[in-house]
Amino acid sequence: MLQRKPFSKIAAALLAGAILVSQQVMAADAICYNCPPEWADWGTQLHAIAKDTGINVPQDNKNSGQALAQLVAEKANPVADVVYLGVTFGIQAAKSGVVADYKPAEWDDIPAGMKDPQGKWVALHSGTLGFMVNVDALGGLPVPQSWADLLKPEYKGMIGFLDPSSAFVGYVGAVAANLALGGTLQNFAPGLAYFKKLSANQPIVPKQTAYARVLSGEIPIMLDYDFNAYRAKYTDHANVAFVIPKEGTITVPYVISLVKNAPHADNGKKVIDYVLSDKGQAIWANAYLRPVRLSAMSAEAKQGFLPDSDYARAKTVDYQQMADAQKAFSARYLSEMQ
């Protein structure tokens, strides 16, 4: 008859080993809220983090609003270690007391307007608002180079922008035009006057993303982010140009924060350090996003972007003021543009 005791010892040893491995894996994990693999190439980023640091960061498909709401709900017993947010949500997270101060290794290489002074959030990459132009759909017309150009009657029916009263990129476009034309975040009169004039050109104003409609030529000129235009040009091989208007525009960052009282704070810090490292920043650049540390962009990746001299026309703003002004702007836009 077979004796069972040796097998019991082996089983116990295997179980103990499994528990140890499990504990080691758990210790290596860090939870990131709002790290969706299909957005900004987070899929590649998370794989690189695991490969180079040994820290496993599960995918998470929340958006900024959902992520912030969950952080607030879990404030007394947080689950996440880091969180990725649009900048205005990063500011709200800081005000809500759900993120901690952390100045990453590359802190000094990050422009002042792209980080919270105490380190409650720091930008990873940004999108710059401009004109995404399907050159073939212009029918021989010149590619517009300025906000003023869009008012020319020859572009009638060719211009699109997402609804500024409901879509964030639409609001970004309104802020960009307003500031370029002499307005402020407290005075939207120039921007609203501009959109009233632009209405004579019968713009197309969809509620949702219109990327495919630009590629098809249905909307030849779209107010959109640079990374969408570069994606169209280099990934979808469309004859698309990106224009930073001569009068100026704005850049909107996406940020990362260390969660306050994070369960794996040390690993969270390592994740933040990695996505701001040369390797991490190169991943953003290769996905056509402009990394916050321009020194980390490879020569090959930089070739896909417009020159730095063009980006000099793209300014940062006080994003807290931008967030505070949004509700009042939306109300005025709906009232005055009907």
CA atoms within 13 A on the CB side of 178: 22
Residue appearing with tokens 């017993």: 77
In terms of phi and psi (left: phi > 0; alpha: psi -120 to 50; beta: otherwise), the region of 263 is alpha
Q: How far apart are CA 332 and CA 336, in angstroms?
A: 6
Q: How far apart are CA 201 and CA 334, in angstroms?
A: 18
Instruction: Return the closest-CA partner of residue 280 out of 13, 12, 84.
Output: 84
Q: What is the separation of C-alpha 42 from the centre of its chain, rounded to a whole number of angstroms?
A: 11
Write out pLDDT tens, residues 190-222.
Answer: 999 999 999 999 999 987 678 889 999 999 999
pLDDT at position 241 is: 97
Taking the whole predicted model, whether its pTM rises above 0.85 is answered as: no
Q: Which residues are within 8 A (CB) of 4 and not within 5 positions of it... i.e. 6 or more apart?
A: none
pLDDT at position 231 is: 84
- 203 secondary structure, DSSP code: -
Mean pLDDT in the chain?
A: 88
Q: How far apart are CA 196 and CA 163, in angstroms?
A: 14
Residue appearing with tokens 């947010």: 85
Could you list the beta-strand ranges (E) of 221-283. Answer: 221-225, 240-243, 249-259
pLDDT at position 295 is: 84
Strand partners, 242: 132
- 130 secondary structure, DSSP code: E
Residue appearing with tokens 């402020």: 184
Q: How far apart are CA 212 and CA 73, in angstroms?
A: 37
Could you tell me if 307 and 128 are in contact, meaning their C-beta atoms sit under 8 angstroms apart? no
pLDDT at position 18 is: 39
- In order along the chain (338 residues), what is the average pLDDT of each group of 10 residues? 41 42 50 86 93 96 84 97 90 93 96 92 95 97 98 98 83 95 96 96 86 94 92 92 98 94 98 97 89 86 88 91 88 88
pLDDT at position 301 is: 80
Could you tell me if 71 and 96 are in contact, meaning their C-beta atoms sit under 8 angstroms apart? yes
Q: How far apart are CA 94 and CA 76, in angstroms?
A: 16
pLDDT at position 117 is: 95
Write out pLDDT tens, residues 108-119.
Answer: 999 888 899 999
